[in-house]
Chain A
Amino acid sequence: MNDQRLLWAILVSLIAVVPILLSDKRPNLRESWTFIAAFLKFGIIITLLSDLLAGVTPELVLLEIAPGYALHLKADPAGMVFALLASTLWIVTSLYSIGYMRGGKYPHQTGFFASFAVCVSSAIGIAFSANPLTFFVFFEILTIATYPLVVHNRNGEAIDGGRKYLAYTLIAGQCLLVALIWSGVLVPGASFTPGGFLAGSGASETTLRIIFLLFMLGIGVKAGIMPLHGWLPAAMVAPTPVSALLHAVAVVKAGAFGCVRVVGFVFGPELLRSIGMDWVLASFAAATILGGSLRALGETNLKKRLAYSTVSQLSYIVLGAALGSPAALAGAIFHIAAHGFMKITLFFCAGSIYTRTHFTEIGQLAGIGRRMPMTMGAFTIGALGLAGTPLMAGFVSKWNIGLGAIHSGHEIFVAVLVISAFLNFAYFFPIVYTAFFEGEPSEFKFDEAGYALWLPPTLTALASLVIGIFPDWFWSFYTLAWTAAKSVTGL
């Protein structure tokens, strides 16, 4: 029952903060600590995964933090997907950060790596939280730990971005707190239960609707559901590894994952349908998918375009959760991982290009593919994947979500998925075309930044290819997603 590994999976990176801060003056030693912690964490989570696949769900009840609520951790399949994603990507992001931060000669690197470690800790905590209060504690720690990263550049723009970020996330946090306390008053001491714990609470439909809206206000900000997405593009002022963290690993995924938790484990798809909120949430998600894509089309700044692409892609997860049929949920949970690998590739590429050339606008990228073939190759794979090309990771999730839409009788959302795929091509293809086929036709010349900048995106692009073809490879994402979806829907 009490599996201490869960605690260590969270603590490893938190403890690493101390040696990181103490090695301020010795960057190589400092980065060694990050790597040691990252590999340890990854190892612990892999052992947890093998237990989970063997049919044991590791669980740990620590001290009580409020009447009826313990600090309760549990590695269930849905949480495991998020934890695997975060711990895997922390390793590549660390490598990439070293190249990027040193290449760009950024100041305050110690604070950067320390905050990063705290963020990853809280992401794992969110993944493994077994009850709403534990979830909230880690959710808010993540909010605060991300703030120093957003304001990393210390200039006026960064401070404004930080303020906007805090305004959105702290307001959301209060909504979430009220929602979880309210649900706790209805069903005291409830843990996340597959299929939801509010179903038998006897509360009126109106009460449940208000609670659901509060939950969604709380979660939806981090998940970037329109119109709560405003902080995301503003937070783009941060250095690229931070954007990668925000958009692929920790923050937005915490929101999307929280959405799955609330829909699947607090309310349950059935209760959601009976109070009529599934349709509302799905509509918001669909609007965000299309709206985000359209906004992405209009952006000429590479990072901003990627930011709006994130807004759009995250709502696939929200949509899948809202539809609530097994395939849709499985697709949504799988997309947490798939989008993580693909989007981090794109951000890595944008950062590499910036470090090498200081280009930020899409128009400047003419011919860049002939100078930086690894980077732009990885970018192409990531972009094709996000658009949902078959044999890519994005296709697996979209296929399932589309299937789920048909199963749940909301066929219209299949149309949304198709339109969105076209829009994805429309905003990614020009970048790829510009990079490879425009500009002075010159000879091929390998002009990449250091290996720390082109290796990570290549690896993540390869990973997204592999899990597109073998969705269960190594991490067993597909099995985990389906196991979680089946437990929620009682299939």
Chain B
Amino acid sequence: MHIPSLGWWLPWLVLAPLGGAMVSPILAARSLKASRWFGALVLLGNFLLAVGLTPFAWNQGPLHYKFGGWAPPWGIEYVLDPVSAMMATLVAFFALIAYPGATLPREDQPQSNAASFQALYLLLSAGLIGIVLTGDLFNLYVFLEISSLSAYALVASGGDRGKVAAFRYLIIGSVAATFWVLGLGYLYALTGTLNMADMATRLPGVLGSRAAVAGLSFMVIGLLIKMALFPLHGWQPDAYSYAPAGAMPFISGVMAKVSAYALYRLLYDVFLKAGPAANALELLSWAAALSILAGSVLALGQRDVRRMLAYSSVAQIGYVILGMGIGNSFALTGAFLHIANHALMKGCAFAALGAFTARTGSSDVRALAGVAKIMPWTAAAFTIAALGIIGLPPMAGFFSKYYLLRGAVTAQAWPFVATFAISSLLSAIYFFRVIESLYLKEPEQTQQTHAVPGTLLMPAMVLAGLIIVFGVFNQRVIENFVPVIIAEEKS
């Protein structure tokens, strides 16, 4: 039975944080504490709403909401199917869990900054959830820019170097978004529609045209920049290095993933529904494999653990894209499972690192020497995340890698099988260097240590627990949260 009225809830997933972002500064003018609690409540409500709607999207078919009552393709619609339900829940969860640490009052910051930071944080989650929900390609651009603009500002709030990093990020990010609009112009000229489902029905006649190929290329490149796939990753290490540590679990956890999700929508819900695009997928697979290897190698060269994790993300987003490129059921399921798992693992690693940095004042690998002695729990959380990213059982990362590898073996794509295996080994090298430093080196006696507030530690602990739970119970996760995408098996 389909209950159409449930769709009424969809816009609230975006409107709640968007409205919250506007109300929060007004509240902050009276009491910063009140606005902080208000933001947390908004995000909590948002998360509960996303969780609550998920079973309906799974059991009753996709939920729809038509803006202003205009039916698509004329109006903008929001769609909540199992895939977007998973992404929305993921975004809402990470927004919620990182919020207390991200909005922690800082002594070196005036109150007004703290207030706008809270608002920007809410705006970012509104933008990301908007990308996830919308069924309209131009609307997606708008949300992409909403999220990006707030991300620029968040990065800029991380000190003077953060501002320079943010400006670079802004220029590159705007180019990416403009590429998306430019490509969309081609497709619009060909099909006369902006709605994803509608475009899929109108594309078949023009799929082979040069304009369609050019349009798709522009849009894909735009997204690849946003998700920082090698060699379009240049903005990311700086942005990740200077963004406020508290916000990093959120930013590193879901931002790139949402762009990967947009790519999935574009490829699978628009282009592959219209016709075969094996060449595009193969090209994308090779780009992803290159990103996996290059990201891993670049991560090897970093002494700063934050930059190392950023390059590791360049490699790991490659896993997701490679899964989409291989494109059979195992690989696609693996890609989405890895979106969730990598969000947990990288979020956890950044949260733990944030706590270390708060303690020692540096994120250099040498500064972490012996930290496991003073912060055993956080070090354990970091280790769990690292083992997960390397892909060792029973951590979550192993099981998404299992799916991806199984997809690659099924497709007999041996170069990609080798890529996954080599990448695991490279990540083992760079992570064990940090683990060695944490556990085996003697701490420097001179270093100052500061107490670390619990709000910074909490995300690391929760996420580390989830990494193990998502690993051991991965089939439950797939049955209820990560959709299995049935793709046509390539022979």
The answer on direct contact between A and B (beta carbons under 8 Å) is yes
Partner-B contacts on A (CB < 8 A):
63-67, 133, 136-137, 140-141, 143-144, 148, 151, 154, 158-159, 162-163, 166, 170-171, 173-175, 177-178, 181-182, 184-185
In the bound complex, CA of A133 to CA of B439 (Å): 30
Report chain A residues within 8 Å CB of B473: 63
A184 engages B406 (CB within 8 Å):
yes
In the bound complex, CA of A181 to CA of B411 (Å): 12
Chain B CB count within 10 A is highest, among A67, A171, A182, for A67
Report chain A residues within 8 Å CB of B393: 136-137, 140-141
A177 engages B392 (CB within 8 Å):
no
- Minimum-distance CB pairs A-B, first 7: A174-B421, A137-B393, A64-B475, A170-B428, A140-B392, A181-B406, A154-B440
Q: Known pairs A67-B475, A136-B393, A141-B393. 18 more at Cβ < 8 A? A: A64-B475, A65-B399, A65-B472, A65-B475, A66-B399, A66-B402, A66-B403, A66-B474, A66-B475, A140-B398, A144-B387, A159-B436, A162-B436, A170-B390, A170-B428, A175-B421, A178-B417, A181-B409
In the bound complex, CA of A174 to CA of B429 (Å): 14
Is B394 interfacial (CB 8 A cutoff)? Answer: yes
Contact string against A for B residues 392-425, beta-carbon threshold 8 Å, 1 for contact and 0 otherwise = 1110001100110110011000000100011011
The contact sample of 5 A-B pairs, CB cut-off 8 A, is A66-B475, A141-B393, A158-B440, A166-B432, A170-B390
Partner-A contacts on B (CB < 8 A):
387, 390, 392-394, 398-399, 402-403, 405-406, 409-410, 417, 421-422, 424-425, 428, 432, 436, 439-440, 472-476
Report chain A residues within 8 Å CB of B474: 65-66
Closest chain B residue to A154 by CB distance? B440
Chain A binding surface SS class: helix
A185 engages B428 (CB within 8 Å):
no
Chain B CB count within 10 A is highest, among A143, A148, A185, for A185
Report chain A residues within 8 Å CB of B390: 170
CB distance from A108 to the nearest CB of B (A): 10
In the bound complex, CA of A181 to CA of B425 (Å): 18
Report chain B residues within 8 Å CB of A133: 402
CB distance from B88 to the nearest CB of A (A): 25
If the complex has contacts A66-B474, A136-B393, are A185 and B424 also in contact, measured as CB distance less than 8 A? no
In the bound complex, CA of A268 to CA of B403 (Å): 27
Report chain B residues within 8 Å CB of A137: 393-394, 398
A181 engages B475 (CB within 8 Å):
no
Report chain A residues within 8 Å CB of B417: 178
B392 engages A178 (CB within 8 Å):
no
Report chain B residues within 8 Å CB of A63: 472-473, 475-476
Report chain B residues within 8 Å CB of A175: 421
A170 engages B394 (CB within 8 Å):
no
Closest chain B residue to A153 by CB distance? B440
If the complex has contacts A144-B392, A170-B428, are A178 and B472 also in contact, measured as CB distance less than 8 A? no
A166 engages B428 (CB within 8 Å):
yes
In the bound complex, CA of A65 to CA of B436 (Å): 30
Chain B CB count within 10 A is highest, among A136, A159, A174, A185, for A174
